[in-house]
Amino acid sequence: MIGKIKEALFGQRFDLASEKELQFKIKIVLSKNGVAAEAEHRFTPNDIVDFFIDGIAIEVKIKGSAAEIFKQCERYCQFEEVKELLLITNRSMGFPKEINGKPCYVLNLGNAWL
């Protein structure tokens, strides 16, 4: 499923001015490619991932420090229902292949449309 999600988004040009607008556009692209994504999935009242699809937590980040982004993703990977995590970002940053034993992937929006 990660491959299908990345394939749907690869090559797309997104406006990166607003994270909420970006999330909306990503939802449209995923839907057009047959990927039904639940938006704003709540693990707890304070832990809300941008999208959740069959055990895959998808977080969209265009602002914030690398450390802040990692901490947020790390929190999501603590939940048992999360089996994999995909970070969608325009930030150039290192990211581990696993967090809490969960496989992690990054889709860099800047590189994806080149």
Q: Model confidence over 84-111: pLDDT tens digits?
A: 999 999 888 889 999 999 999 999 887 6
The residue segments making up the domain with residue 97 are: 2-112
Question: pLDDT by residue (tens digit) across 47-85?
Answer: 999 999 999 999 999 998 999 999 999 999 999 999 999
Q: Which residues pair with 53 in a beta bridge?
A: 56
Given this model, what pLDDT does residue 114 score? 44
Given this model, what pLDDT does residue 111 score? 64
pLDDT beyond 50 at 27: yes
pTM: 0.91
Q: How far are the Cα atoms of 21, 41, 45, 46, 100 from residue 78, in angstroms, in the given order?
A: 27, 15, 15, 14, 7
Q: Structural domain tally of the chain?
A: 1
Q: What is the CATH number of the domain that holds 65?
A: 3.40.960
pLDDT beyond 80 at 10: yes
Q: Which residue has the tokens 């581990």?
A: 96
